[in-house]
């Protein structure tokens, strides 16, 4: 079977360059190209040479449609608006889209579901294998512990991250809520400031930290009056996200159109 040609949206950024290197290092995969915003210095360059690898002829485009035409799959860690456009392009060409973008609004997630009628889309707030294990464990622990335990989600990321709480933190909150058989939107407390009053029983709280170059730290705390359980994942290198995304692209090859998650890729049961 020929190598899977994988393109990278936003390929000149930190995450984009990590993805290009991961694709080149993964058996069965080949760099299919990349995109950058119009006017960027990388436009027209060889995508592999952009990260110091031997040139392959796969180019960096300013038009994402050209990238989808050149590739079997595209990995997107960009911005919500761009991800929605990329989903539509994948749908029109019946291609694979791996979307790791965070901060999507409900209507944008609905656009992905609509695109998945004809495209094969893997969408996850976090492509890390370890984080997806944490999601499973969080749901189980929340189901096992009684209402005496308060749930708080703490996350920290680098100073350049633009959305808060992180998509992973919200996914952890949803996992905890699912374990308790409640809807996160009905119990989430995403900010506290001033005289807030006592904590309401059953709430799931979020705390956000930003600073430095932290790749991503997440902790789910289960606190009672007498003890505390903390489940923590710390990302030390962006390669854990890129390896998960490339793994998802390989898994999606040959799969029918639909909207999938990392649970499907990793074979986890809900």
Upper half-sphere CA count for residue 212 (Cβ side, 13 Å): 7
Residue 157 falls in the annotated catalytic set: yes
Does the N-terminal peptide bond of residue 146 adopt cis geometry, omega within 30 degrees of 0? no
Separation between Cα atoms, residue 31 and residue 221, nearest integer Å: 40
Closest CA to 98 of 259, 263, 266: 259
Of 95, 157, 218, 233, catalytic: 157
d(CA 115, CA 88) in angstroms, rounded, equals: 6
pLDDT of residue 1 exceeding 90: no
| Fold category of 4-123+238-266 in CATH | Rossmann fold (3.40.50)
**Residue 270: per-residue pLDDT:** 62
Could you report the per-residue pLDDT of 165-215, keeping only the tens digit for each?
A: 999 999 999 999 999 999 999 999 999 999 999 999 999 999 999 999 999
Query: In the chain, what percentage of residues exceed pLDDT 90?
Result: 93
The CA distance from 235 to 51, in Å, is: 22
pLDDT of 238 over the 80 cut: yes
Residue 212, C-beta contacts closer than 8 angstroms, at least 6 positions apart: 158, 159
Residue 17 near residue 75, CB atoms below 8 Å: no
Neighbouring CB atoms inside 10 A of 93's CB total 16
From residue 264, alpha-carbon distances to 76, 122, 126, 248 in Å are 18, 9, 13, 9
Rounded Cα–Cα distance for residues 244 and 99 (Å): 11
Domains 4-123+238-266 and 129-235 belong to one CATH topology:
no
| From 161, 183, 200, 233, the catalytic residue | 161
Is pLDDT of 224 > 90? yes
Tell me 43's DSSP state: T
263/132 Cα distance (integer angstroms): 7
One of 3.30.360.10, 3.90.1260.10, 1.20.120.1780, 1.10.3430.10 is the CATH number of 129-235, namely 3.30.360.10
Contacts of 176 (CB under 8 A, 6+ apart): 138, 139, 142, 151, 153, 184, 204, 220
Distance separating alpha carbons of residues 201 and 182, to the nearest angstrom: 13
Please tell me the distance from the alpha carbon of residue 6 to that of residue 247, in angstroms, as a whole number: 11
Taking the chain, what is the end-to-end CA distance rounded to the nearest angstrom? 32
Question: Active-site residue 159, yes or no?
Answer: no
Query: Mean pLDDT across the stretch 34-40?
Result: 96
What global pTM score does this model have? 0.84
DSSP state for residue 10 in the 8-state scheme: T
Q: Where are the domains of the chain?
A: 4-123+238-266, 129-235
Please say if the pLDDT value at position 125 is more than 90.
no
Report the mean per-residue pLDDT for the chain.
96
User: What pLDDT, in 10s, does the model give residues 126-170?
Assistant: 899 999 999 999 999 999 998 899 999 999 999 999 899 999 999
Residue 239 or 150, more confident: 150
pLDDT at 74 over 90: yes
State the average pLDDT over residues 48-69. Answer: 97
- Structure confidence at residue 22 (pLDDT): 97
């Amino acid at each position: 079977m020929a190598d899977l040609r994988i393109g990278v949206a936003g390929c000149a950024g930190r995450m984009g360059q990590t993805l290009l290197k991961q694709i080149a290092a993964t058996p069965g995969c080949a760099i299919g190209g990349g995109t950058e915003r119009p006017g960027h210095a990388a436009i027209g360059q060889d995508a592999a040479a952009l990260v110091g690898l031997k040139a392959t002829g796969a180019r960096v485009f300013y038009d994402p449609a050209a990238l989808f035409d050149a590739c079997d799959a595209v990995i997107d860690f960009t911005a919500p608006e761009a991800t929605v456009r990329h989903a539509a392009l994948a749908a029109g060409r019946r291609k694979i889209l791996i979307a790791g973008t965070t901060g999507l609004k409900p209507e944008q997630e609905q656009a992905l579901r609509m695109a998945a009628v004809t495209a094969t889309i893997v969408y996850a707030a976090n492509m890390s294998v370890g984080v997806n294990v944490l999601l499973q464990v969080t749901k189980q622990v929340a189901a096992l512990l009684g209402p005496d335990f308060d749930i708080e989600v703490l996350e920290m990321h680098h100073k350049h991250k633009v959305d808060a709480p992180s998509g992973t933190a919200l996914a952890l909150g949803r996992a905890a809520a699912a374990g308790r058989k409640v809807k996160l939107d009905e119990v989430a407390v995403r900010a506290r400031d001033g005289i807030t009053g006592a904590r309401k029983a059953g709430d799931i709280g979020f705390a956000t930290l930003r600073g430095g170059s932290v790749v991503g730290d997440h902790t789910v705390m289960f606190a009672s009056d007498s003890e505390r359980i903390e489940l923590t994942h710390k990302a030390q290198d962006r390669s854990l996200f890129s390896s998960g995304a490339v793994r998802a692209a390989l898994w999606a090859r040959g799969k029918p159109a639909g909207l999938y998650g990392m649970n499907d890729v990793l074979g986890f049961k809900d």
